[in-house]
Amino acid sequence: MVSTIHMTSASKPAPGAGARGAPSPQRGSRAPVMTAATMSALVSIVLVAAVLRPALTSFGPVVERIDAELGIGSTALGVLGSLPIVCFAVVSAGAQVPARRFGIDRVVLVALVVLAVGLAVRFLPGQAPLWIGTALVGIGIAVGNVLLPSAVKLWFPSRVSLASGVYTSVLVAFAALGSGLSVPIAEAAGGNWRLALGASLPLVLVGVVWWAVRIARSSAAAAAAATAATAQGHPVTNPAPTSTPPREARLWKSPTAWFVTAFMGLQSFHFYVTVTWLPSIERVAGVSDAASGWHLSLSQVVGMLVGILCTALMGRRQDQRVVGMLTAVPVIAGCIGLWLAPGAVPALWAALLGAGQGSSLLVAMALIALRTATPAWTTRLSSMAQSIGYGLAAVGPFLAGALNDLTGSWLPVIALIGGAAALQGISGYGAGRDVTIGASPATAKPRVGAGDTPGTLERGGAATAGGAADDAFATGDAGGAARDGRTSRRTEKGQP
Half-sphere exposure of 325 (CA within 13 A, CB side): 7
Q: What is the pLDDT of residues 155-179, one digit of tens each?
A: 888 787 788 888 888 888 888 788 8
Q: pTM of the predicted model, to two decimals?
A: 0.68
Per residue in 459-473, pLDDT (tens digit) is 323 333 334 334 444
Neighbour count for residue 341 (Cβ, 10 Å): 13
Does domain 38-220+244-431 fall into CATH 1.20.1250.20?
Answer: yes
CA distance 469 to 180: 43
Residues 6+ apart with CB under 8 A from 71: none
Upper half-sphere CA count for residue 288 (Cβ side, 13 Å):
6
Q: What is the pLDDT of residues 289-332, one digit of tens each?
A: 778 878 877 887 888 888 778 777 776 677 888 888 999 999 99
What's the rounded mean pLDDT across residues 142-162? 84
Q: How confident is the model at residue 32 (pLDDT cuts 50, 70, 90)?
A: very low
Amino acid identity at 19 = A
Instruction: Say whether 131 sits in a helix, a strand or coil.
Output: helix
In angstroms, rounded to a whole number, what is the distance separating the alpha carbons of residues 321 and 325? Answer: 6
Question: Comparing 84 with 450, which gets the higher pLDDT?
Answer: 84
> E strands, 94-183, where?
none
What span, in angstroms and rounded, lies between the C-alpha atoms of 247 and 231? 39
**What would the pLDDT profile of 42-55 be if each residue is shown by its tens digit?**
899 999 999 998 99
Asked if pLDDT for residue 425 goes beyond 90, the answer is yes
Residue 89 has pLDDT above 50, yes or no: yes
Mean of per-residue pLDDT scores for the chain: 77
| 108 CB neighbour count, 10 Å cutoff | 26
Is the Cβ–Cβ distance between 20 and 467 less than 8 Å?
yes
Q: 75: closest CA among 402, 396, 395, 407? A: 402
Mean pLDDT of 223-237: 67
For residues 466 and 455, the answer to whether their CB atoms sit within 8 Å is yes
**Residue % of the chain over a pLDDT of 90:** 26
For residues 310 and 71, what is the distance between their CA atoms, to the nearest angstrom? 42
Which of 16-20, 117-121, 227-231 is most confident? Answer: 117-121
Do 284 and 336 meet the contact criterion of CB atoms below 8 Å apart? no
Of 168, 150, 93, nearest to 374 by C-alpha is 150
pLDDT confidence of residue 441: 53
Asked whether the CA dihedral 280, 286, 290, 294 is positive or negative, the reply is negative
**269-290 tens-digit pLDDT:** 999 898 888 888 888 888 887 7
* Percent helix, percent strand, percent coil in the chain, to nearest 5: 70, 5, 30
